[in-house]
Amino acid sequence: MSLSYVERLVCSKCGTRYEPSENPIMCRRRDLGRLDVVYDYDGVAEKVDRRGLSSRGVRDVWRYEELLPVRPRFAARLGEGGTPLVRARRLGEKLGTGNLLLKDDTRNPTASFKDRAMAVGSAKAVELKKNDVAIASSGNAAASLAAYSAASGMKCHAYVPPDAAAGKIAQLLLYGASITKCEQVKEGEDATVQAMLSAVERFGYYPCPSFGPFNPYQVEGPKTMVYEIYEQTEWEGVDVILVPTGSGCLLTGIWKGVRDLKEIGLIRAYPRIVAVQPNGNRALVRAIQKGTGMDRLVPVPYPASVAGGLLDPYPWDGDAAIEGVRKTRGWGVSVSDRDILRAVKELAAFEGIFAEPSGAAGLAAVRELFSRGEIDRDDRVVALVTGSGLKEPDRVIGMFEGGRGGDKNGTRLRP
């Protein structure tokens, strides 16, 4: 198939419309709106139905090519997506539910869900014949873009925090990225994004971070998690999706995924989408709980948590994330570092899945939601497990040494 079903792109802030042939990246009004990709849903619906999907042999994100903004022939294809949906049998028993599912996205080529985003973003860069791509990231997205750049023959320029996890730095080095460490020196400042933007300006690099306002294409990748979850539950779907949230772009993708499926008539109702943030960086959750929007959002001055992937000083895709939670009647929940580390440990000890703290943060909210009565033990709940523990083993080894890496009052969890 060579036809693209992208109909237009529309700025989320000012509503300016762009033709797909313009290949826009940022709104020309420089208003930091995200250029939301709109598909010809009638056209897609003619091509995509449940039965047809189930007979497709392709298992990666390109299985859903009609709902992606770039053709698979530009993609490096390292095996992104197509990850297992695991029933948490033993952990579910401990929590008193038979309906807990885990979407194990640690099993991606660079060991995080970011491969879904960067596979699509890098393919677009290849289509546009770019040689140099730039990214601001806590580490996972950068490692992913670096891998896809290596496989596509592009140079990746990564802007990361000084304390990025060693496993992620090792990946960046080996995949041949240039690495610039950027320290936050002012309250609320997003140092890595500022550095990336100035490099884009000065050297003409193609911006390809996870966040929507700086590149509209990669945002389309993570929504394939939703399509897979529906296929894997034979279209019964789930009641609740727990989403670890930093910048909000994963949640934006999950929201886009369920809307896409509804637009093409494959589902009727939305699952409830839950934004989960660490207590040390809970600005978006606070806005959701108060019922306010991005205009009133107060960023945390210096975000801090054991969940390093969730420390974005500003939720760049917060507008769509807030909308996704509200329109699906979901919730915003924040969790302590102690609960995150407990989720890491339980995922490993009961289910054999080794996640990094950010990757287990969604699961960390499940007890609280049960005890608040927001979710029922009969509800089908899926926790997105978004990154592998092998990226930062030190933080979790600390749990066994008497509390390094936990809340300030210590986290000592014995086996």
Residues lying near ligand PLP in the complex (CB under 6 A): 112, 138, 140-141, 210, 244-250, 309-310, 312, 356, 358-359, 386-387
Q: Is the dihedral of CA 392, 146, 178, 22 positive or negative?
A: negative
Q: Minimal distance in Å, beta carbon 386 to ligand PLP?
A: 3
192 binds, among ligand PLP, Zn ion, none (CB under 5 to 8 A by kind): none
* Nearer to ligand PLP (CB atom), residue 190 or residue 356: 356
* Nearer to ligand PLP (CB atom), residue 18 or residue 314: 314
* Nearer to ligand PLP (CB atom), residue 88 or residue 276: 276
* Nearer to ligand PLP (CB atom), residue 78 or residue 118: 118
The reply on whether position 249 binds Zn ion by CB under 5 A is: no
* Nearer to ligand PLP (CB atom), residue 66 or residue 317: 317
The helix or strand, by DSSP H or E, that contains position 36, with its residue range, turns out to be: strand 35-39
Which tokens go with 339?
């609960």
Say which residues have a Cβ less than 8 Å from residue 355's Cβ, sequence separation at least 6: 106, 343, 344, 347, 348, 385, 386, 387, 388, 389
Query: Reduced to 3 states, what is the DSSP secondary structure of residue 172?
Result: helix
27 binds, among Zn ion, ligand PLP, none (CB under 5 to 8 A by kind): Zn ion
Task: Classify 261 in phi/psi space as left (phi over 0), alpha (psi -120 to 50) or beta.
Answer: alpha
* Nearer to Zn ion (CB atom), residue 24 or residue 82: 24
Binding to Zn ion in span 22-41, by CB under 5 A: 27, 29, 31, 33
**Angstrom distance (rounded) from CA 126 to CA 371:** 48
Say which residues have a Cβ less than 8 Å from residue 73's Cβ, sequence separation at least 6: none
14 binds, among Zn ion, ligand PLP, none (CB under 5 to 8 A by kind): Zn ion
The reply on whether position 11 binds Zn ion by CB under 5 A is: yes
Unique residue bearing structure tokens 């589902």: 267
* Nearer to Zn ion (CB atom), residue 13 or residue 326: 13
The reply on whether position 14 binds Zn ion by CB under 5 A is: yes
* Nearer to ligand PLP (CB atom), residue 303 or residue 406: 303
221 binds, among ligand PLP, Zn ion, none (CB under 5 to 8 A by kind): none
* DSSP assignment string, 219-280: GGSTTHHHHHHHHHTTT---SEEEEE-SSSHHHHHHHHHHHHHHHTTS-SSPPEEEEEEEGG
Residue 316: CB atoms within 10 A of its CB come to 26
11 binds, among Zn ion, ligand PLP, none (CB under 5 to 8 A by kind): Zn ion
Unique residue bearing structure tokens 């992620």: 168
Q: Minimal distance in Å, beta carbon 385 to ligand PLP?
A: 9
**Angstrom distance (rounded) from CA 18 to CA 308:** 35
140 binds, among ligand PLP, Zn ion, none (CB under 5 to 8 A by kind): ligand PLP
* DSSP assignment string, 287-347: HHHHT--GGG----SS---S-GGG--SS-TTHHHHHHHHHHTT-EEEEE-HHHHHHHHHHH
Q: Minimal distance in Å, beta carbon 27 to Zn ion?
A: 3
Residue count, binding to Zn ion (CB under 5 A): 8
Query: How large is the greatest C-alpha to C-alpha distance in the chain, in angstroms?
Result: 58
336 binds, among Zn ion, ligand PLP, none (CB under 5 to 8 A by kind): none
Q: Minimal distance in Å, beta carbon 33 to Zn ion?
A: 4
167 binds, among Zn ion, ligand PLP, none (CB under 5 to 8 A by kind): none
Q: Catalog residues that contact Zn ion under the rule CB under 5 A.
A: 11, 13-14, 16, 27, 29, 31, 33
